[in-house]
Homo-oligomer: A and B are copies of this chain.
Amino acid sequence: MIKFHEKDPYAPIQYSYEVEDILYRGKSKFQEIMVIRNPHFGKMLILDGVVQITERDEFFYHEMLAHVVLHAHPAPKKVIVIGGGDGGAVREVLKHKTVEKVYFIEIDEEVINVSRKFFPTVACDVDDPRVEIKCMDGAEFVRGQNADIDAVIVDSTDIVGFATSLFTKEFFTSIKNCLTESGFYVTLSESLHFHKDIVIEVQETMKGVFPLVDLYAAPIATYAGNWWTFSVGSKGLSPRELRQKFDMKTKYYSDEIHRQAFLPKGMYERLMQKKLEW
């Protein structure tokens, strides 16, 4: 049996997957891109040795990344998606009928092309007329924006290498400056099991910029440590409240899951006081 052993230097458990077939292997200007087929998960997209999505379970991550802030917003029209070259986040954003424009900013065009070819159910909406694709650095893109964006959604690789520019105070400030008063920013922020210190650091950096910062989580089997977190920043609106009726087809996200996904307040306080002992 051929196995793919994930190369995640930050994970104390190594995950390995059976490989039925290697469908693609290439090197872009930014990273090594690989597509394999696994008997359980179907096709899997791997960047620099780390699993990004699988056909079978990608919706957990993409739904939870996009729908929480877009349901907390009263009526999102303009959205920026940074990263997420597979198109999964864009697909979920476009389920919101109020959305008129999605700026899809992916630094690595090759990821979009590989996803169009191998993940048609994920990349299905990247060529929708509401979507404007720009292959450039997300940090640079947000610096030039007016304050008319309703949501900025960051779907980057792990917080290492070239993705680290997406977790600085400068970047968070540029995002805040391009958001409307009811706008939201959301980003992945690693696992509460394995990367608690990173979660706290991202939250603290965001608190230096956004008036309101919060944290929610979802169980994602193929991300190291599962119990995956998402950090939200806003100018004051709480992301815990839904300001729209939940009325779309999803597999995991729902209004019930929305409310339940946020860290209980007591646990959140203990996290930020560094009192969670694990």
Residues on A facing B (Cβ under 8 Å): 3, 5, 12-18, 38-41, 56-57, 59-60, 191-194, 217, 219, 221-222, 225-227, 251-252, 254, 256-257, 260, 264-267, 276-278
Contacts and interface: CB of A to CB of B under 8 A. Distances in A.
A278 B56 contact: yes
Contacts of A39: 12
B17 A15 contact: no
A41 B226 CA distance: 16
A256 B260 contact: no
Contact of A16 (B16, B193, B221, B276): B16
Contacts of A40: 12
Contacts of A194: 221
A60 B222 CA distance: 20
B265 A256 contact: yes
A52 B221 CA distance: 18
Contacts of A191: 221
A225 B13 CA distance: 13
Interface of A is mostly: loop
B251 A257 contact: no
Nearest to A225: B221
B221 A13 contact: yes
A13 B226 contact: no
The 8 residue pairs across chains A and B that have the minimum distance between CB atoms: A256-B264, A12-B40, A219-B227, A226-B226, A193-B221, A14-B16, A13-B15, A251-B277
Given A191-B221, A251-B277, 14 more contacts: A5-B16, A14-B15, A15-B15, A193-B221, A194-B221, A219-B219, A219-B226, A219-B227, A221-B225, A252-B278, A256-B264, A256-B267, A257-B267, A260-B260
Contacts of A252: 278
A229 to B, nearest CB: 11
A21 to B, nearest CB: 16
A250 to B, nearest CB: 10
A194 B9 CA distance: 25
Contacts of A60: 278
Given A16-B16, A194-B221, A276 B251 contact: yes
Nearest to A222: B13
A274 to B, nearest CB: 13
A266 B255 CA distance: 10
Given A194-B221, A221-B226, A251 B278 contact: yes
B193 A57 contact: yes
A192 to B, nearest CB: 7
Contacts of A222: 13
